[in-house]
């Protein structure tokens, strides 16, 4: 391990030592020589993600519950960056579901407008990808498993294991 260089660099005299006390007011700390040290959050290894909509009170409650547990979840703003059909398939697997309708907000106006009650499978996934408001929320993902946090306390099924 290389020790960090902490030195006093004089602009006037190059003949003095790099650590010359007479240049104590001109301190340079070389961060590039420090070993990289990570300071993880309490549960940083858990890699918790939260599918989040700021306008949803249950999402805000879920975020607050995670923060109270010391968990700094990765926020997935799915309305701004909609998931792909493949992302949704993975999410279904993590949720342990085989019917996309189980992770859909069937009460949304766009659900009725698109006539999704008569559709199934990939058509529903494509509808969610095109209209992410149809994705149920909040969804918490941790270590390859997911839960729809309705009520928000359901997230403890993942974070307390």
88 and 14 inside one domain = no
Let me know whether 50 and 17 are in one domain: no
Same domain, 31 and 98: no
Confidence label for 18 from pLDDT (cuts 50, 70 and 90): low
Q: Which of 8, 16, 20, 56 is catalytic?
A: 56
Predicted confidence band of residue 161 (pLDDT cuts 50, 70, 90): low
> Do residue 29 and residue 54 come from a single domain?
no
pTM of the model: 0.70
56 counts as catalytic: yes
Query: What pLDDT digit, counting tens, does each position of 84-132 carry?
Result: 999 999 999 999 999 999 999 999 999 999 999 999 899 999 999 999 9
Helices (H), 12-159: 57-68, 85-95, 109-113, 122-130, 156-159
Query: Which CATH number covers residue 125?
Result: 3.40.30.10
Whether residue 130 sits in one domain with residue 72: yes
Site of tokens 């968990």? 71
What's the pLDDT at 40? 39
Does residue 65 share a domain with residue 24? no
Are both 84 and 144 inside the same structural domain?
Answer: yes
Query: Tens digits of per-residue pLDDT, 43-94?
Result: 444 589 999 999 999 999 999 999 999 999 999 999 999 999 999 999 999 9
Angstrom distance (rounded) from CA 103 to CA 11: 65
| Residues 66 and 139 grouped into a single domain | yes
Least confident of 21-30, 58-67, 136-145: 21-30
pLDDT at 119: 94
pLDDT, tens only, 26-41: 445 444 544 544 433 3
Of the two residues 161 and 59, the one the predictor is more confident about is 59
CA of residue 98 relative to chain centroid, distance:
25
The pLDDT score that the predictor gives to residue 160 is 82
Q: How many domains does the chain have?
A: 2
60 plus 32 within the same structural domain? no
Please check whether residues 66 and 119 belong to one and the same domain: yes
Q: How far is CA 145 from CA 2, 11, 71, 77, 98, in A?
A: 42, 58, 16, 19, 14
Domain of 133?
A: 44-159
Is there a single domain that holds both residue 10 and residue 82?
Answer: no
Examine the pLDDT at 9 and tell me if it is beyond 50: no
- Counting Cα atoms < 13 Å in the Cβ hemisphere of 17 gives 7
């Amino acid at each position: 391990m290389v020790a960090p260089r902490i030195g006093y660099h004089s602009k006037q005299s190059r003949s003095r030592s790099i650590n010359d006390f007479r240049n104590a007011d001109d301190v340079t700390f070389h961060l590039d020589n420090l070993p990289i040290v990570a300071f993880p959050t309490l549960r940083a290894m858990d890699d918790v993600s939260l599918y989040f909509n700021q306008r949803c009170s249950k999402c805000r409650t879920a975020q607050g519950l995670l923060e109270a547990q010391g968990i700094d979840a990765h926020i997935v703003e799915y309305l701004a960056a909609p998931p792909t059909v493949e992302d949704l398939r993975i999410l279904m697997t993590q949720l342990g579901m085989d019917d996309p309708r189980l992770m859909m907000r069937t009460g949304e106006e766009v659900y009725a407008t698109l006539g999704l009650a008569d559709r199934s499978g990939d058509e529903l996934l494509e509808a969610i990808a095109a209209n992410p408001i149809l994705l149920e929320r909040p969804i918490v993902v941790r270590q390859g498993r997911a839960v729809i946090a309705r009520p928000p306390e359901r997230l403890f099924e993942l974070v307390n294991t």
